[in-house]
Amino acid sequence: MPPPSRADAGVAAVIFDLDGVLVESESAWSEIRERFTRDQGGSWRQAATREMQGMSSTEWSRYMREELEVPLPPKEISAGIADRVAAGYREQLPLLPGAVEAVRSLSSAWPLAVASSANRSLIDLVLELAGLENAFRATVSSEEVDRGKPAPDVYLEAARRLGVEAEACAAIEDSSNGIRSAHAAGMGVIAVPNRDYPPGDDALALAEQVLDSLAELTPEAVRAL
């Protein structure tokens, strides 16, 4: 796929995380997982939310079975959680301020992709409800690769599907494991820190830019990489 004519020479594509970048969903995921764990007679612990950040659905559902003692097969755990999250999205999609504007602005200059830890069904649902399904040329769920974040697999696969080198991509991330994942893939990272679960200083040090909000995520900010 040839690069778009308006793309800056230093950046060939932009890859977005989903949860915490485009949708304010981390709190919802945490609440639903906690409620699900308790409903099933498991043992919830407060550290679980951070420990599961960036994991693929295969990884976090296995974690919930083995570490939180949820007495169900991992596939049933994953499906049960995803169904509850989807129901909440259909009732009210928690788009972050400036998300749609940032995506549309950047899509006018670069091909875009999503590299997310969310289930495939949830990625598709969010983009459909937000009216952004046509803004992204590729979307990848970490359940479709071998390892979730902080491993680089999901970002490398997103670059492959776009047909560009990973080193020529900019990644937009909000969490420690997400930043580490994109950095390990060789991408230039723009961090927009999650307010409820902010990345650690060691992870932020890997980002080339740290923005206060999506309002600052402009084509000029990307070209500054």
Q: Over the stretch 41-86, which tens digit does the pLDDT of each residue have?
A: 999 998 998 899 878 889 999 999 999 999 999 999 999 999 999 9
Percent of the chain at pLDDT > 90 equals 85
For position 6, what pLDDT does the model report?
34
What's the chain's average pLDDT?
93
Q: What is the mean pLDDT of residues 8-33?
A: 90
- Asked if 154 contacts 145 with a C-beta cutoff of 8 angstroms, the reply is yes
CATH annotation of 13-25+94-223 = 3.40.50.1000
| pLDDT tens column, 91-130 | 999 999 999 999 999 999 999 999 999 999 999 999 999 9
Residue 89 has pLDDT above 90, yes or no: yes
Q: Which of 14, 221, 225 is nearest to 138 (CA)?
A: 14
Total Cβ atoms within 10 A of residue 66:
10
Nearest by Cα to 117 from 160, 84, 78, 89: 78
pLDDT of 216 above 90: yes
Q: How confident is the model at residue 17 (pLDDT cuts 50, 70, 90)?
A: very high
Q: Where are the domains of the chain?
A: 13-25+94-223, 26-91
Which pTM was predicted? 0.87
Q: Is 139 helix (H, G, I), strand (E, B) or coil?
A: strand
Which of 136, 143, 131 is closest to 81 using CA atoms? 143
The whole-angstrom separation of Cα 8 and Cα 13 is: 9
- Which has the higher per-residue pLDDT, 135 or 3? 135
DSSP secondary structure string for all residues of 41-79: T----TTHHHHHTT--HHHHHHHHHHTS---S-HHHHHH
Name 26's bridge partners. none
